[in-house]
Structure 1
Amino acid sequence: MAEEADRDSKTEDATEKRISDAIDKGNVPMAREATLFGSIAASLGALLLLGGWMLSHLTEALQTALAAAGSMRIDDREAAASHLVSLLRDAGLPLLPVLAFIAAGSILASLLQNVPSAAGDRVSPKPSRISPLAGWNRLFGRAGLVEFLKAAVKLAAVSVILWLLFRRDLPQFVTALAMDPALLPDLLRDLAAGALRPLLGLALLLAIADVVWSRYRWRRDLRMTKEQVKEEMKEAEGDPFIKVRIRGLARQRTSRRMLEKLPEASVVITNPTHYAVALRYRREEGGAPVVVAKGVDHMARTIREIATAHEVPLIENRPLARSLYDQVEIDAQIPPEFYRAVAEIIHYLNSTGRLPRHTMGR
C-alpha cells in the first residue's frame, strides 16, 4: 500500500537530469522478450545455414560411437572415460557454431535496446537485493504479476503451436521410420526449421509488446513528485541568494570598469538629473561614437561628477539621453538613427571650443 501511495504522489514526468542520472547508474529499460526473440532468430539462422553440416557431423560421431561400442570395455575405467570424452568432443564441436550464433543473437538484441555503458552501481552490493521482503515484493507485486502473466501466455502459446505442428508433421515422423538413414539429417533440419518459424513469429509479437511495456514501466518508475521537481530546479539554477550576490558583484565590476573609462569620454548627455550617457568619439578611429558609460539616478550623478572633474562637457538633451540609455549597450556604437543628433552636439562643442582635445586627435 505504501508503494502504491508513493507512486500516486509521483505525478510529474521525469526531467532530463533524472533520466540521465538513471542511465548513468545502469537503470535502463530492458525487454527480456526481445532477447528471447534474438536467440530464436539466431537459432533459425544457424539451423538454415549450418544445419546440414552440423547434422552430418553429429551423424558421423554417432556412427563412430556405435561402431566402437562392441569393443569398448566397461570394466576398464580409463578406456570408458576416453571413449566418453571422445564422443562428447565429436558431438559437441558441431554445436559450438550454433551456440555462438545464439549467444550473438542475444547480445545483439540487448545492445539494440540501449547504448552499452559501464555502471558500477548495478553490480555494487545492496541490502535490498538480498532482502527477503524486497524479493517477496518483486515476486508478488505488480511487476511479478506481469512476469507471471507473460510466462503463462508464452507457455500456452508454445504448447498450442507445438501441438499443431506435431499433428501436422506426424505422418512424416511415421514415414521417417522406413526412410534411408542418410536422408534423416535433412528431414530433421526441415522439421526443426518449420517448428522455429511460428515460434519466431510469436517471439516477435511478445518482443514488441515487451519493449513497449518495459519503456512505459521505466518512465513510470522514474516519475517525480512536484517537490522533487522543484528541488531539482533549485539545484540546477543554484541558490537564489547566491545568484543575487553574483549579479550584484557583476554589476559592481561593470560599473567600476565603466567609470574608469569615463575620463576618455567626449561628451555626457544628461536628462539632466535622472539619466546620463557618456559618449566617446575619435576622429582617427573612424566609426560612430561609442557609449562608454550610462546610468540612472545615483549612477547618473556619479557620472556627472567624474565627468566634471575631468572636464568632460555635459549637454542636456532629455529625449536623446533616455533613448540612448534604453537602446544602446555599454561599449557599443550608437545606431544610425542617433547619428544626426550626436553629430550636431559634437559640432556645437567643437565650434565653441569645449570639445576635449583627445577627441579630435589634436
Structure 2
Amino acid sequence: MAGDEDKESKTEEATDRQISQALEKGNVPFSREAPLFASLAAMLVCLVFLIPQSIGALAHELSRFIDDPGGFSLESGSDATALLWETAMAASHFLLPSIITLSVAGLAAALLQNSPAFVLERISPKWNRISLASGWGRIFGGAGLIEFLKSLFKFTAVAVLIIILCDTDQYAVINAMFSDPVLIPALLLSLATRLVSAVCVGIIVLVALDLVWSRVKWRRDLRMTKQDIKEEMKQTEGDPLVKARLRSLAKDRARQRMMTAVPKASFVVANPTHFAVALRYQREEGGAPVVVAKGADLLALRIREIATKHAIPIIEDKPLARALYDSTEVDQWIPPEFYRAVAKILYFLYSREK
C-alpha cells in the first residue's frame, strides 16, 4: 500500500537533473524485445544468404564420413584428435559467419537504444535483489504482468505460425520421406526460412510497442513528488528563505553604504516628500555628476535629514527628482539628457556662494 501511495504522489515530470542522475547510475530505457528481433532478423539473413553458400562445403566435408568411414585412421589418440579437429574446423567454417552476424545484430540493437557506459553500481550486490518480497513484487507486479503478456503473445504467435506452416507444407514433408535424401536439407532450409520470416513479421508490432512502452515506463518511474521538486530546487538554487534573507542583508548593506556617502554629495535634488537624489560634482575630479545616493519615501526623508545635518544644499525640483530616480543608478554618472538641468543647478549654487 505504501508503494502504491508513493507512486500516486509522484505526479510531476522528472527534471533534467533527475534524468541526468538516472543516466549516470545506468538507469536507462531498454527494450528486451529489440535485441530478440534483431537476432531473428540476423538469423533470417543467415538462412537466406550465408547458410545456402556454406552448407554445400559442409556437406562435402561430412560426406567422407558416409562414403568412406574406414578411410580414417583411429589407431591412436592423436589420430582421434586430428579427426575431431578437422571436423571442428569444418563446422566452424559453417557456423562462424552466422555466429558473428547474430552477435553483431544483438549488440547493435542494444547500442542503438543507449550509448554504452560502464556503471559499477549496476553490478554491485544489493540485498533487495535477493529479497523474496522484492522478487515477488517484480514477478507479480505491474511490470511482471507486462512481461507475462509479452511472453504469452510471442508463444501464441509462434505456435500459430508453426501450425499454419505445418498445415501448409505437410504434403511436402511427407513426400520428402520418399524422395532423394539430398533434397531434404534444402527443404528444411526453406521451412526454417519461412518460419523465421513469419515470426519476424508477427512480432514486429510487439517490438515497436515495447520500444515505446520501455521509454514511457522509464519516464513514469522517474516521476517526482512536489516535495522532491522543492528539495531539488533547494539543492541547486538554494533555500528560497535563505536567498530572500541574503538579498535583504545585501540591500541593507548597500543602503548603509549609500547613507554614508550622502555627506560627500554636492547637492540633493528632491521631491518634497517622495524622492531624493544626492549628486556629487567636483570639477577637479572630472567627468559628469555622480549619483551617490537615491531613495523614495522614508529613505528619501533620511537622505534629506543627513543632507540638512551636513549643510548640503537641497534643491526641490519634482520632475527632475523623479526623472533622476527612475533613470540613474548609484555610483554612476548621470545620463547626458540631464546635463543641462543639473548644470543650471550647479550654476545657481556657485553664484550663491560667490
Seen in structure 2, the aligned counterparts of structure 1 residues 310 and 79 have a Cα distance that, compared at 3 Å, is farther
Deviations 1:242-285 (A, max 9, x none): 31343245335645775787788665322345532245679999
Q: CA deviation at 1:39?
A: 1.4
DSSP-derived class of the 1:70 partner: helix
* Structure 2 gap segments, 5+ residues each: none
Q: How many residues are paired up?
A: 352
Q: In the alignment, what sits opposite 2:344?
A: 347
Seen in structure 2, the aligned counterparts of structure 1 residues 172 and 330 have a Cα distance that, compared at 3 Å, is farther
Structure-2-length-normalised TM-score: 0.80
**Equivalent pair of 1:61/1:90 in contact (CA under 8 Å):** yes
Q: In the alignment, what sits opposite 1:224?
A: 224
Q: In the alignment, what sits opposite 1:359?
A: none
After TM superposition, list the pairs within 5 Å mapping 1:257-272 onto structure 2.
268-272=268-272
Q: In the alignment, what sits opposite 2:55?
A: 55
**1:163 is aligned to 2:163:** yes
**Equivalent pair of 1:276/1:304 in contact (CA under 8 Å):** yes
Q: CA deviation at 1:112?
A: 2.2
Deviations 1:65-105 (A, max 9, x none): 44563344678554334323321231123322221221221
DSSP-derived class of the 1:31 partner: coil
Seen in structure 2, the aligned counterparts of structure 1 residues 211 and 289 have a Cα distance that, compared at 3 Å, is farther
DSSP-derived class of the 1:14 partner: coil
Deviations 1:103-122 (A, max 9, x none): 22122222222233332221
Q: In the alignment, what sits opposite 1:87?
A: 87
Structure-1-length-normalised TM-score: 0.79
**Equivalent pair of 1:28/1:218 in contact (CA under 8 Å):** yes
Of 292-301 and 102-111, more deviation after overlay is shown by 292-301
**1:135 is aligned to 2:126:** no
**Equivalent pair of 2:51/2:94 in contact (CA under 8 Å):** no
Deviations 1:207-256 (A, max 9, x none): 11212222222223223333333333333331234313432453356457
Q: In the alignment, what sits opposite 2:41?
A: 41
Of 226-235 and 86-95, more deviation after overlay is shown by 226-235
Q: In the alignment, what sits opposite 1:107?
A: 107
Q: In the alignment, what sits opposite 1:325?
A: 325
Seen in structure 2, the aligned counterparts of structure 1 residues 317 and 66 have a Cα distance that, compared at 3 Å, is farther
**Equivalent pair of 1:34/1:211 in contact (CA under 8 Å):** yes
Cα distance in 1, alignment partners of residues 286 and 195 from structure 2 = 86
Deviations 1:309-347 (A, max 9, x none): 9987542223432343234444666668xx26x522313
* Structure 1 gap segments, 5+ residues each: 357-362
Which amino acid in 1 is paired with 2:120?
G
After TM superposition, list the pairs within 5 Å mapping 1:194-209 onto structure 2.
194-209=194-209
**1:153 is aligned to 2:153:** yes
Deviations 1:162-188 (A, max 9, x none): 22122323444455563583x666655
CA-based RMSD: 3.8
